[in-house]
Amino acid sequence: MIELANVSFRYGSSVVPDAARPDPANPSVDGAAGLAGDSPGLGPLVLDHVSLAVGAGEVVVLCGASGCGKTTVTRLVNGLIGTGRQGVREGAVRVDGLDPGVEPTARIARHAGSVFQDPRTQFFTTDVASELAFGCENFALPPAEIRRRVSGVTEDWELEGILGRSVFALSGGQKQRVICAAVDAMDTRALVLDEPSANLDAPATAQLADLIRRWQEQGKAILIAEHRLAYLAPLADRFIRLEAGRVTHRLTATRLRALGPAKLADLGLRPVDGEATEPDIAPAARLAAPADAPGCQDADPEDAGCQGAGGRDAGLGGIELRNVSYWRPHRAGRKYGRQVIGIGQLDLRQGQIAALTGPNGAGKTTLLRLIAGVAPGGRGEMRVNGQLWRRRRRLLGVALVGQDVNQQLFADTVRGELTLANRRLSDLEVDAILGSFGLADLGSRHPLALSAGERQRLAIAAAFAQDRPVVALDEPTSGLDLGHMRQVAAGIRQLGAAGRTVLVATHDQELVAACAERVITLQDGLLTS
Amino acid sequence: MPVSPGLAYTGQPNLWLDPRAKLALFIVVNIVGLAAPFSGPGAVVRIAATALVAVLLAGEQAWWMAASAVAATACGMAGYAWLQPTGWTLVASGLINLLARFWPVIAMGCYVLSTTTVSEFIAALRRMRVPTAFTIPFAVVMRFLPTLAQESAGISEALRSRGLRLGVARPGAWLEYRLVPLAMRAVAIGDELTAAALTRGLDRDTERTSLARVGFGELDWAVVAAAVAVFIAWLAARLITP
């Protein structure tokens, strides 16, 4: 159903001469001639003779480090990259017998549904019900049929409660569920998913796995580019690992598992077993697991206890929260808003790295924004090193690395980003920080020209440079591969080692295992552990 | 569901109206709100238009917005009657006048955007034979603006947290730290929204069907009749005012 035969690809610009463009309709051009050397006006070779086939009822997972070409493959298949100005393709791509390089994208959409990583920008309409119908409406299906399909997916995906809601009132995980349901309603024979789980918590990921299994049973061909492999291991037929645009491994789930965690890590792949499906993990039990987590060795298992455990440290520094609560501003027609956060007591030792976990919509982001002083309207007390910090003080004393780093990088060079964070830094200090966050060679680059992992590390480095006693990080590893995740974890451990008290909100159990000394679980705004 | 002072759909309205009826009333409220005087027969028309806006907003339990639209109109009339346009009161009466003209119009705009889905807008525009070349970009903009507003809020928050204060005194810094990141995000969002629409089968050339409910009921005719009546009254007030 989805086939790639000897596909090579370079991204290009509009200056590519016509002669250099292979004619995708003419198979005689297939071969190595056009793309072998460095062609003028074209980028580096992103895919190098990639072949793969996904048959009906098969699930094939593309894995490998960021930048290995996974996303390019998915975009060649769903037709987002054509063959014109966007780049030059060699080899054949077929979806249900059609060539996505030639057919209009909207026509390919009838054969291959797509789910992307960022749920915020996948909605075309502004309310859930319209979004579910949107794809079917574009296929010009009769309204009765659309209604039938919409009510079908509403039931399957348990969306009754949010059907009339505005898209802007949904959490990230809810949005991704709606998108999956909307693609489900389009009922295409092939599906292309690009890191669909990046913003999902464990239950939502399990639900995604169920959906993929259902699609598989319906005989659809499913191609998934993904870093998180654990939830796919039980259902994938094949894992294809790419490195620098080449296929290096083709493995069944059993053989992938047989490689063992160490070998997987060597290949830059995240673990295949367990973690994503376990709702809660005991951090102390996990600390020994990753070989590259030296910062964790000094963790005191007693500190892994829950609220109140840090009480004996009071006065020694760190954060003390007392009776912190937050009500969502009340809306017309309701006398009181909903309580989002209600925390009686929470203490963190100075230099402690605490992971804040809990399902989508539990209030993790709200808590971090309250602590960082950017969200107005919270109640209660926060003390840092024994001093009462009101909101204005927190704004100056807590460094916040928010969910979307693209909104947080302001300078025009990487070095500039650090000096902007702290003007007192000397050149030597800047070099030292860049070195310790693995950014030494990138000092003169533009922050937005970096890879996702590098940007994330730069945002953490800037928080480090700010020299504030408390650092709050919100989902720092969503969508990062194993290598980048580990670099971020190393960066977070640096913060802790430098005596900063760190609070990390995350769904990423592998990150928790790699850096957290303590796990705090939030459920409906209340501490559960 | 509440009407928010934002630009986006906030949820199913208590009182469903056809988008065309809302648009008709919106246009009339614009004309009357911006052009009608604050005294004489024209003021009666202004009161009627404000009352219509307030009733619709109150129907959605948007009490604050409804009350503020009424209050703005009342302030405008009071200001016109009692403030002598000399000295400092000139500035004050000018500001009150501006607010009183614009606020009910803004409130009406929020009402329309908060209670109408993109699909309803598209379907209504198609019924009005507006070509796809206009309706699709229009829909994209309706989706794009609130998203961009969210991005902008995120950037402000990050700036505040980083301790970067951008006063009016440093327009260069404002441009560099505020506008450039926002522009970069705008480009990225535009690309991603386009990709999402294309892979869901949206195409300029193909026919599409729609589930969105459009159609005039008694209530819609009543709203249109009220809008037309207010408009005619406004014309009449202009003619009889010397």
Tell me which of B193, B199, B206 to substitute to probe the interface with A (most A C-beta atoms closer than 10 Å): B199
What is the model's pLDDT at position A334? 44
Do B109 and B43 lie in a common domain?
yes
**Contact indicator for A357, A497 with CB cutoff of 8 Å:** no
Q: Domain for residue B35, yes or no?
A: yes
Topology of A2-104+228-277 in CATH?
A: Rossmann fold (3.40.50)
Q: Domain for residue B151, yes or no?
A: yes
**Which of A108, A112, A77 shows the shortest CA–CA distance to A91?**
A77
Q: What are the structure tokens assigned to A92, written together?
A: 């054949």
Indicate yes or no: CB of B146 within 8 angstroms of CB of A124.
no
Tell me which of A107, A121, A371 to substitute to probe the interface with B (most B C-beta atoms closer than 10 Å): A121
Q: Which of A146-155, A491-500, B199-208 has the lowest mean pLDDT?
A: B199-208
Q: Domain for residue B226, yes or no?
A: yes
Banded model confidence at residue A313, pLDDT cuts 50, 70, 90:
very low
Up-side HSE of residue A273: CA atoms within 13 Å toward CB?
A: 12
Do B102 and B174 lie in a common domain?
no
Indicate yes or no: CB of B206 within 8 angstroms of CB of A106.
yes
Do B28 and B79 lie in a common domain?
yes
**Mean pLDDT for all residues in chain A:** 80
Indicate yes or no: CB of A404 within 8 angstroms of CB of B154.
yes
Do B139 and B98 lie in a common domain?
no
What is the model's pLDDT at position A35? 57
pLDDT per residue as tens digits for the range B105-161: 999 998 998 888 888 888 888 888 888 788 878 888 888 888 888 888 888 888 888
| Nearest-CA distance A2 → chain B (Å) | 16
**Contact indicator for A14, A40 with CB cutoff of 8 Å:** no
The radius of gyration of chain B's CA atoms, rounded to the nearest angstrom, is 21
Indicate yes or no: CB of A106 within 8 angstroms of CB of B202.
yes
A353 contacts: CB under 8 Å, gap ≥ 6: A295, A492, A493, A495, A496, A502, A504, A515, A516, A517, A518
**Which of A211, A108, A229 shows the shortest CA–CA distance to A157?**
A211
For B123, name the nearest residue in chain A, comparing CA atoms only.
A137
Yes or no: is domain A283-328+337-527 CATH 3.40.50.300? yes
pLDDT per residue as tens digits for the range A189-241: 999 999 888 777 777 788 889 889 989 999 999 999 998 888 998 999 999 99
For A147, name the nearest residue in chain B, comparing CA atoms only.
B211
Q: Which of A266-275, A308-317, B135-144, B231-240 has the lowest mean pLDDT?
A: A308-317
Banded model confidence at residue A267, pLDDT cuts 50, 70, 90:
confident
Contacts of A160 in chain B (CB under 8 A): none
Domain ranges of chain A: 2-104+228-277, 283-328+337-527
Do B105 and B25 lie in a common domain?
yes
**Which of A300, A302, A294, A348 shows the shortest CA–CA distance to A324?**
A348
Measure CB to CB from residue B154 to each of A143, A169, A402 and give the nearest one.
A402
Q: Is the pLDDT of residue A67 over 90?
A: no
Q: Is the pLDDT of residue B56 over 90?
A: yes
Q: Is the pLDDT of residue A19 over 70?
A: no
| Nearest-CA distance B210 → chain A (Å) | 5
Q: Domain for residue B4, yes or no?
A: no
Measure CB to CB from residue A80 to each of B3, B60, B198 and give the nearest one.
B198
Banded model confidence at residue A424, pLDDT cuts 50, 70, 90:
confident
The total number of structural domains in chain B stands at 2
Helical pair B88-115 and B19-35, crossing angle rounded to 10 deg:
180
**Which of B70, B58, B69 shows the shortest CA–CA distance to B103?**
B69
Eight-class DSSP state of A310:
G
Which ipTM score applies to this complex?
A: 0.77
Indicate yes or no: CB of B203 within 8 angstroms of CB of A120.
no
pLDDT per residue as tens digits for the range A123-172: 888 889 889 999 999 898 999 999 999 999 999 888 888 888 888 878 77
What is the model's pLDDT at position A403? 82
**Buried-exposed string A327-347: b where 16+ CB fall within 10 A, e elsewhere:** beeeebeeeeeeebbbbeebb
Do B142 and B186 lie in a common domain?
yes
Q: Is A355 exposed, middle or buried (0-12, 13-18, 19+ CB in 10 A)?
A: buried
- Find the angle CA(A24)-CA(A29)-CA(A34) to the nearest 5 degrees: 100
Q: Domain for residue B122, yes or no?
A: no
Q: Which of A11-15, A64-68, B221-225 has the lowest mean pLDDT?
A: A11-15
**Contact indicator for A353, A504 with CB cutoff of 8 Å:** yes
SS3 assignment, position A317: coil
* Average pLDDT score over residue span B42-61: 92
Query: One fold for both A2-104+228-277 and A283-328+337-527?
Result: yes
Q: Domain for residue B13, yes or no?
A: no
Contacts of A121 in chain B (CB under 8 A): 147, 189, 192-193, 196
| Nearest-CA distance B91 → chain A (Å) | 33
Do B156 and B222 lie in a common domain?
no
Q: Domain for residue B164, yes or no?
A: yes
Q: Which of A197-206, A484-493, B214-223 has the lowest mean pLDDT?
A: A197-206
| Nearest-CA distance B63 → chain A (Å) | 7
Do B83 and B61 lie in a common domain?
yes
Do B85 and B171 lie in a common domain?
no
| Residues spanned by the domain of B224 | 19-117+215-240
**Contact indicator for A114, A182 with CB cutoff of 8 Å:** no
Contacts of B212 in chain A (CB under 8 A): 130
Measure CB to CB from residue A331 to each of B2, B139, B140 and give the nearest one.
B2
Q: Which of A13-17, A320-324, B68-72, B156-160 has the highest mean pLDDT?
A: B68-72
pLDDT per residue as tens digits for the range A51-65: 999 999 999 999 988
Q: Domain for residue B32, yes or no?
A: yes
Do B112 and B223 lie in a common domain?
yes
For A114, name the nearest residue in chain B, comparing CA atoms only.
B199
SS3 assignment, position A366: helix
| Nearest-CA distance A414 → chain B (Å) | 14
Do B44 and B99 lie in a common domain?
yes
* Average pLDDT score over residue span A373-393: 85
Banded model confidence at residue B4, pLDDT cuts 50, 70, 90:
low
For A447, name the nearest residue in chain B, comparing CA atoms only.
B181
Do B100 and B34 lie in a common domain?
yes
Q: What are phi and psi of B221, to 5 degrees?
A: -60, -40
